[in-house]
Amino acid sequence: MEKEQILQENLQEYLDLGQQAYTKKKYNSAVTLLFKAISAAADLFLLKKEGSAPSSHSHRFRILKEKYPEVYNILDKDFPFYQDSYTKRMTQEAAEVLKEDAQRLQEMARK
C-alpha cells in the first residue's frame, strides 16, 4: 500500500473515531483522535506538496512553519489541546475546534 493511501485511510479512521468519541461526549478521546487526524492531514498535504511526509512532530512543524504558515498556524494552535488531553479534562468546545480544523485540513490536503 502506498504512503498516500495509508495517510488517507488513517485520516478517515481518526476522523470517524474522533466523531464517535465526540458524539459520546468523550472529549479527551475526541481531542486525541482529532489531533491525529490533523497530523495525518498535514502529512498528506506535505506529501502532495513536497513529495514526502515528515517523520516526526518536530519535522512536520519545521517544514510547515517555513513553507506553509496557514497549515502551521492550525497545528500550532491545536497542539496544546492534544498535549493537555493527557493531564486535563477536555471540553466540548475544545473538541469542536479540533473537529473543524481537522475537516478544514482534510479539504486542504485534497487539493
Integer Cα distance of 107 and 94 in angstroms: 20
**What does the pLDDT read at residue 55?**
86
* pLDDT single digits (tens) 12-34: 999 999 999 999 999 999 999 99
Packing angle of the helix pair 27-50, 57-67 (nearest 10 deg) = 60
* pLDDT single digits (tens) 55-90: 888 999 999 999 999 999 999 999 999 999 999 999
Average pLDDT of the segment spanning 35-48: 97
**What does the pLDDT read at residue 82?**
96
Return the CATH number of the domain spanning residue range 3-110.
Answer: 1.20.120.330
**What does the pLDDT read at residue 111?**
80
Average pLDDT of the segment spanning 2-6: 95
Integer Cα distance of 45 and 64 in angstroms: 10
Look at residues 31, 46, 33, 49 and name the one whose alpha carbon lies nearest to residue 88: 31
Look at residues 38, 46, 41, 40 and name the one whose alpha carbon lies nearest to residue 64: 46
Integer Cα distance of 7 and 74 in angstroms: 19
- For the chain, how big is the Rg over CA atoms in Å? 13
Cell numbers of 52, please? 514526502
Indicate the domain borders of the chain: 3-110
**What does the pLDDT read at residue 36?**
97
